[in-house]
A and B are shown apart, each in its own frame.
Chain A
């Protein structure tokens, strides 16, 4: 596997090393974030005319799912505005790498040092998503809540506890960042081992110790590296590399596979299926059920959603893994096989989200132009596009694109299933072991094809 260290390029290294460019992008994002909150609270309640809804759920979501995550993994987290104010308070500085700021600096409780809270946070947001996506005020409240949580976490706990353990977006961005063709790693582990100071973790005058509680010297996966680039600044040995690598390299790393992450993969895949059915399907009753929060039908929808993503889909997957073990007479414990094979669902999961997003975004992208000109929906016309009418884009090619993406995801997942099975080659024949799991991936893909292009 070839890796190419992008920091060899002078320009890239300078841009990444300096705080200015990253700060500027964060500040810009924070500006948009604040405007989204303000327009959500004070602007028009008509979602498709409100900057908050259009900027967050169409523009930001499109950039995140179609560009940032597939290409840069956690690139978004590098400039995310949500943790920024808390971060600045915690450090007592905006641009300088100061070390004395506010906050209690507590350690995060050990029992929740995993992805379960993020799994729960995502599921809760998903239950209300049809309302969040369509009501400006609800979007504003959710953004504010995330901001408060992030600031609170920064003041009580050390480093970026919110990002690492709470953020509902951070969980799946981390999961899918394993597929990205970009990674931050150390150049030479021996240099790290010989270094007593470990400034990248403890911090020094040049920057903070890893805000994500990650020791770069041991990094093997992108999942919890927020690409904040502090270690690039603190490492006195210039031992940090930002590599261009082959996509999905982390999936083939057997060490460190965990049940919470396996469930994240299943929850995300399940949610993509539900979203495709509810939001892009032709079933009006399903939409009203998801929208009328608190009603009896919503309760049924909510329970159905939770049952599907936490029980039915994982249960079906468990069953296929079990069947494969039986067919192959494999001695690998069921739980272990379940966890390991779940990582093969990550490409299909991202493909499902990209396919969902393609349809949703291109159909609604033209709402962006009027909203730029009239963010509050108050009848302004700042750049002359307030009157632009709605036109869905690329309607003739989107279904083919979605198909291609889903098939690509299936193929990638299939290759990964096989690679994971080959990791324990001595213990079991690969073909019968993978057959049921592949069938699972195939059925999911056919279901998604039916929902999105059928």
Chain B
């Protein structure tokens, strides 16, 4: 059994920005919001893995990508589930039925012919073939026919058709073929044809084998929207391996694979009021969820479509999420319930398909303080009861501390610090982690302190800052952290808020006259004395924060422009620091 349930490697998720036609003509190609920009992490089986960060850091996008709900620009997500729960499912009951009927028909025809004509099959095969059929073989055909009938019956009765009967059919079929040459061979060929057809990967999903589907245990999500469902080799019969080949199915179609994935990965969103259809009762909501994911039985009906059975399951779910007495809540409309109760219904619904991984996206953020704890406790209980693994998405480091085993802190699409929660809380390493922890209000009026907060807000993810993305706000930034032209302009703008700098603003401003391009910022000197402007810029830089000032390469006149250029940033890579991964140049 795999211990790593989810492996995310260099994942990038970009959303195209909507831009008007004219804008696109003017301003180059498409632009993207880099919601997630190269993150890697693993989720172990049975743990609570926290994705923590402010809004717009990409935590929700990262969580949703695990369900195949986002486009992937680069990188891959591999979800591998233990095979113990991988019970085969029928997917093409109608075709299976047709195959059986065909078998019966052909076999019965043989039997009838053989019986009617005694030892001659000439009525069926009038095209000169009769001459090639010697008497004893036609006798053998009678045997073939009866065996086929029996096989067809067996196939019909044995459901779900598991591996062993499949092997049986194939083995006996081969024996018959040998015994009843050449007609038996022809017949066997037809059978194999049917089997191979049913076993061929179809464009919409996983492997169809003789009308049944082995649930995939491994899903790989990549850029092409390709999902690979790979049943493990040992789940293939020799027959399939022989006739169909080893199973690595690539398919561009989503439906079946996605449905399989959704059965294993479920998500709980922040807002329970938006998540529930107000027109339905709680019972109906759960019934829909249970039926949508129920395995399909042969004959086209879903295995657990019997109403009493589904209702019993729904009641059990309600009881499990603490909505007691369950039958009372079963009949309720979700609009008649409080936020906490609604969120419990949402959780019950997510549990309906018996998922293995639950992505909880701010599950308690919209709930009142006095009931949050109870919903968190419920989630932790259910984790044990249902053997779940959680990806817990939150902006609240205090909640994450209570529930998460390991956490990853995100900032503007990047992972800045990740590792065991215990270690990170005991001694946060990344300046951003420290800032976040410090910003949490302390519910103790006797310990009021003035907080040293990072300045500004999270920048636009369409144009993330160079170097370390946190550098414009980082209180301990270094000159190599990625300073660039626009940082200089931001500095000037901030400086000019103070009326005491208004003469500088008059000489250098307005800010719109400046242009920033990557590492440089420049302004035309056609108005005003170039020397004075350069001197002013240098004077402003003297008072600038040290890292910014020290990162300046030069201030120079180029043709009719004054240019402030910065040195390129140092290379930033995630590093292992005291048992966790940190992406910061301090280390």
A binds B: no
Report which B residues bind A (CB closer than 8 A).
none
